[in-house]
Amino acid sequence: MRTTAYDLKSGKWSEAHDSLFTAQPDLNAQSACSWSPKEPRYDLKAFSLALRPLLAVHPSRRNSTAYRYDLVDVARQTVANRSRAMLPEIQAAYSAGDIERFQDLSHQWLQHIEDLDRIAATEPSLLFGRWLARARTSAGNPREEAQFEFDASSLLLEWGPESSRDSGIHDYASREWNGLLKYYAQRWQAYFSTLAVALQKRESRIPSIGSRWIRNMQGERSSMRKNLKEMHLP
């Protein structure tokens, strides 16, 4: 940790790279947020070595909230870093027309997002339902409750209205939170399904689903918000 995440060099970027699992689906994605580093800021394999010692901590020392948070955070980041290695592999399989490998890797990609969701579920500060519940408690009536929950969801799901999409601020507030990760998995799954169909038709280029696909996802977002309401915690 001291030589990786805790030793970011000064320069163009002040923060670490983000996770491609939360990026807008694109085989050429380099970051989730427009203003995030496009390349890893530290050695990913070296960082992953920090997880084993944390798992080996003596049981008598595992009860502190600090230890549990560090364990979850390192495990989460270790899995998230896999996206940096996997996406180029998925792109290579697609470009080669290898549908079997493409489907295998895309399945692994979605499985990693599911793993992240389970990891996040063990840490109270990483619960999307808790975020929504807090928004609702600020309301003075049912109408405000619904509006506050919608606003709290929109901040993380979209950040801005549809008209602001070209500004690059969408996914600016992306989070690897339990419940919210199901949304990212849903849109990657839709994207991979589109690419699988293209491979079966032996199309040589990546289909440009662009704004049409994004507009179709608006309906999916509405449905997802309804489902996420059922995940809240008191």
Output the CA–CA distances (angstroms, integers) from residue 9 to 31, 32, 208, in the order listed. 19, 21, 37
Beta strands in the chain (DSSP E): none
Output the CA–CA distances (angstroms, integers) from residue 5 to 1, 42, 44, in the order listed. 6, 7, 9
Instruction: Please say if the pLDDT value at position 234 is more than 70.
Output: no
Tell me: the pLDDT tens digits for 209-226? 444 444 444 455 555 555
* Cross-strand pairs, 178: 127
The pLDDT score that the predictor gives to residue 233 is 40
Instruction: Please say if the pLDDT value at position 194 is more than 50.
Output: yes
Tell me: the pLDDT tens digits for 144-164? 988 888 888 878 877 666 665
Supply the pTM of this predicted model.
Answer: 0.82
Confidence category of residue 232, pLDDT binned at 50, 70, 90: very low
Tell me: the pLDDT tens digits for 122-134? 999 999 999 989 9
Say if CB 113 and CB 21 are below 8 A apart: yes
**DSSP 8-state assignment for residue 59:** G
The pLDDT score that the predictor gives to residue 196 is 93
